[in-house]
Amino acid sequence: MSTGVNLKELAAELKLSPSTVSRALNDSYEISEATKKKVISMAEKLNYQPNPFARSLRENKSKTIAVVIPERMSNFFSKVVDGIEEVTQEHGYHLLVYCTHEDVDREKKIVNLLMNGRADAIVMSVSSQTSDISHLTRLHERGFPLVFFDRICPAIPTTKFITNDYESGFEGTKHLIQQGCRKIAFLMLSKELSITKERHRGYLDALRQAGLSPEPQLNITCCQEEEENIESIRRLLTGPNRPDGILSSVEKLALATYHAVKRTDLKIPNDLKIISFFSNLSIASLLNPSLTTITQPAFSIGEECAKLLIKKLTKPRQPDLPNQVITIPSHITIRSSTIVL
């Protein structure tokens, strides 16, 4: 099976110069329509394969977009990457996916690497440890196209894609209250993240609207170690101030809660009702009992990030990315973890 010809071989077959063939393939106004048709027809016949690396060198572009995410195992981040790739592949761009593993030092090393020209643009969700943003400020000041999603950096003047964190936090809490919960715990990985602050703000406002006093001891900051989280939640569930409802700000803490409950005599949802904010777990309906979730439109967020950057990278004389926050709403799916049948 033929692997195709290169540009020089195609030009030789057409008895044209390689530069003329190249311009014809790129729809240059300098080349007549008749020549363009002749070149394209022969290219298809001989299975011409362009060299993307050579083109990248000529244009001083890598034709690559970097995606920086805090964790690889999250179903949410996987779907965002899928959404980005769906768009970038259509335009001949490739993805480099980097994982910070919630480590800000690793995040800084990745950013420094990318400033050396490894990618033409970056799509990023910051780590839970990111409070010093000097590395991100330097990246932006160099004119590097940078888009944030989910875990955004508000101080950097560029486009950020989020979901309606506050409203979803409010509605999730309200749902638990409507199911009879009066002592609701809020589980988080970091107090510093923009998404956590907004989800927590919605949680607090829903409690106050229902006439319930927020209890600081029910705000639990967890870590990256699964076993440590499970034991921390188990101690909460067996302590004197046991909650009757839990809102998990991320899906991994909802799963840790299921494991913790198994180490107690409690039953879901009779003794404890659970809702996971922004879970995209495909197995949520298969858990026993099935998990009530508020789901982010992860794939759509990825698509919108990519569309914005592709326009910036492929259209001439594009302005800087606007300093704006774009909200794509989430939706709640009620399942058995919050409903007593």
For 216-267, give the DSSP string: GGGEEE--S-HHHHHHHHHHHHHSTT--SEEEESSHHHHHHHHHHHHTSS--
- The percent of residues in the chain predicted with pLDDT above 90, rounded, is 65
What's the gap between Cα 295 and its chain centre? 13
Residue 56 confidence class, pLDDT cut points 50, 70, 90 = very low
* HSE toward the beta carbon, residue 303, CA cutoff 13 A: 6
Q: Contact, 274 vs 338, CB < 8 A?
A: yes
Residue 228 confidence class, pLDDT cut points 50, 70, 90 = very high
Residues 292-318 have a mean pLDDT of 92
Which residue has tokens 């879970």? 279
Residue 1 confidence class, pLDDT cut points 50, 70, 90 = very low
In the chain, where do the E strands start and end? 64-69, 94-99, 121-124, 146-149, 160-162, 184-188, 219-221, 245-248, 273-277, 292-295, 325-327, 331-333
User: Could you tell me the strand order of the sheet in which 331-333 lies?
Assistant: 219-221, 184-188, 245-248, 273-277, 292-295, 331-333
d(CA 297, CA 279): 10
Residue 3 confidence class, pLDDT cut points 50, 70, 90 = low
Segment among 42-51, 181-190, 226-235, 296-305 with least mean pLDDT:
42-51
Dump pLDDT digits (tens) for 156-183: 999 999 999 999 999 999 999 999 999 9
60 backbone φψ class: left, alpha, beta (φ>0; ψ -120 to 50) = left
Q: Contact, 210 vs 176, CB < 8 A?
A: no
DSSP state, residue 155: T
Residue 51 confidence class, pLDDT cut points 50, 70, 90 = low
d(CA 284, CA 97): 26
d(CA 214, CA 249): 17
Look at residue 181 in the predicted model and tell me its pLDDT: 98
Residue 53 confidence class, pLDDT cut points 50, 70, 90 = very low
SS3 120: coil
- The percent of residues in the chain predicted with pLDDT above 70, rounded, is 94
Query: Considering Cα of 165, then 162, then 258, then 228, what sign does the dihedral take?
Result: negative
Q: Contact, 98 vs 129, CB < 8 A?
A: no
Largest CA distance in the chain: 87
**Euclidean distance between the first and the last CA atom of the chain, given in angstroms as a whole number:** 62
For residue 216, whether the previous peptide bond is cis, meaning omega lies within 30 degrees of 0, is no
d(CA 122, CA 192): 22
Question: In terms of C-beta density within 10 A (0-12 exposed, 13-18 middle, 19 or more buried), how is residue 329 classed?
Answer: exposed
